Structure 1
Amino acid sequence: MSSWRLASALPLALATFKGFVNPLQHWQEGVLMVLGVPHAEPHEELELAVEDFRDHMTEYEKRLGDLRRYRNVGHGECLYDLVDTQDIWPTLQKIAEAGFPIIGQYVNIGAHDGFTDDPLYNYSYSSQALGIAIERDPEQCERHKANLPDVNVVCSEVTPQNVLPLVRQGLQGQDIDVLKIDIDSYDCPVLERIAPKVRATMIMVETNPSIPPPYQWAMLYDPDLWNFFESFRNPVEVPVRGCSLAYEIQVLRRYGYDLLAFDGHDAIFTHESVRRAFHPHQLPVDEFDCYAHSLIVANGIPINLTRRWFFKESDVHKTLPEIWRFFVDWMAANSPILFPFALRV
Structure 2
Amino acid sequence: MLAAATMAIAGISAEPACPVLGKLDGKQCFGLDHDPNSTSIELCRSTCCADKACEVWQYNPEYGCWRGSPLECKFSGRHFCFESRGEQLRMPYVPEGSQPHAYRGSSRNFAETAAVDPYAKLVVEEVNGAAGEVYQVRRAGPRQDQMMIAASCWSHTRHPDWCCPLPDSPPETLCWTVESIRDHCCNNGISADGVLLYKVFHDLTSFMGPPELEYFHSLFGGYPIDEDALKSTQLYFRVGKHRPGAICHSADYRSDGSEVLLPLVSLLLASRQPMSRTFLNIGAGTCESPDPLYQLLASDAGQGFVGIAVEANQARLKKCVKVMNATPGRVLPVSLTMDPISAAEQLRPHLEKIFGQSPKPWPLDVLVVDVDGVDCLIIEELMRVVRPKVIQLEILAHIPPPFRFSQQWHMDHSPIWDQDYDMETFMPTAGCSLSYALHKFRPFGYHLLQLAMHDAVFVHKSIGRVIERGLRLKFPQDEFQCYRNSTLWLQRPASFVREWFFSRHPSTVLADIWSNISEWNQEIGRGSSPFTLDF
The interval holding the TM-score normalised by the smaller chain is 0.7 to 0.9
- CA deviations 1:223-256 (Å, max 9, x no partner) are 5347547758996443121100000001110100
Matching of residue 141 in structure 1 with residue 308 in structure 2: no
The answer on whether the counterparts of 2:102 and 2:515 sit within 8 Å (CA) in structure 1 is no
2:498 equivalent among 293, 304, 307: 307
The answer on whether the counterparts of 1:229 and 1:238 sit within 8 Å (CA) in structure 2 is no
The answer on whether the counterparts of 1:132 and 1:152 sit within 8 Å (CA) in structure 2 is yes
The answer on whether the counterparts of 1:218 and 1:341 sit within 8 Å (CA) in structure 2 is yes
Matching of residue 18 in structure 1 with residue 113 in structure 2: yes
Greater shift in the superposed pair: 117-126 or 12-21? 12-21
- CA deviations 1:292-342 (Å, max 9, x no partner) are 11121122x23211110001x132222222111111123234425320011
Letter matched to residue 164 of structure 1 = A
The answer on whether the counterparts of 1:107 and 1:178 sit within 8 Å (CA) in structure 2 is yes
Greater shift in the superposed pair: 7-16 or 126-135? 7-16
Percent identity, please. 24
Provide the alpha-carbon RMSD of the alignment: 3.3
**1:237/1:153 Cα in 2 relative to 1: closer, same or farther (>3 Å)?**
closer
- Distance (Å, rounded) in 1 between the aligned partners of 2:324 and 2:346: 19
Q: Which residue of 2 aligns with 1:42?
A: none
The answer on whether the counterparts of 2:344 and 2:384 sit within 8 Å (CA) in structure 1 is no
| Structure 2, unpaired ranges of 5+ | 1-93, 127-136, 147-220
Letter matched to residue 101 of structure 1 = P
The answer on whether the counterparts of 1:132 and 1:167 sit within 8 Å (CA) in structure 2 is no
Structure number with greater CO (CA < 8 Å, separation at least 6) is 1
Greater shift in the superposed pair: 92-101 or 127-136? 92-101
2:258 equivalent among 67, 80, 86: 86
Q: Which residue of 2 aligns with 1:75?
A: 242
Q: How does 1:1-345 map to 2 (within 5 A)?
A: 5-9=100-104, 15-27=110-122, 55=221, 59-68=225-234, 69-80=236-247, 85-87=257-259, 88-125=261-298, 126-149=302-325, 150-171=330-351, 172=355, 173=358, 174-222=362-410, 224-225=413-414, 227-228=416-417, 236-277=425-466, 278-279=468-469, 280-299=472-491, 301-311=492-502, 313-335=503-525, 337-345=527-535
- Distance (Å, rounded) in 1 between the aligned partners of 2:267 and 2:422: 43
Provide the secondary structure at the position in 1 that maps to 2:284.
coil
Which one has the largest radius of gyration? Answer: 2
C-alpha displacement of 1:9: 4.4
Letter matched to residue 22 of structure 1 = D
Letter matched to residue 152 of structure 1 = L
**1:3/1:305 Cα in 2 relative to 1: closer, same or farther (>3 Å)?**
farther
The answer on whether the counterparts of 1:202 and 1:268 sit within 8 Å (CA) in structure 2 is yes
C-alpha displacement of 1:14: 10
The answer on whether the counterparts of 1:131 and 1:170 sit within 8 Å (CA) in structure 2 is no
Q: How many residues of Structure 1 are paired with residues of Structure 2 in the alignment?
A: 328
Output the TM-score relative to the length of structure 1: 0.84
Output the TM-score relative to the length of structure 2: 0.56
Q: Which structure shows the higher helix fraction?
A: 1
- Distance (Å, rounded) in 2 between the aligned partners of 1:7 and 1:265: 22
- CA deviations 1:5-49 (Å, max 9, x no partner) are 245247989942112121222427x699xxxxxxxxxxxxxx999
**1:49/1:247 Cα in 2 relative to 1: closer, same or farther (>3 Å)?**
farther
Letter matched to residue 314 of structure 1 = R
**1:199/1:10 Cα in 2 relative to 1: closer, same or farther (>3 Å)?**
closer
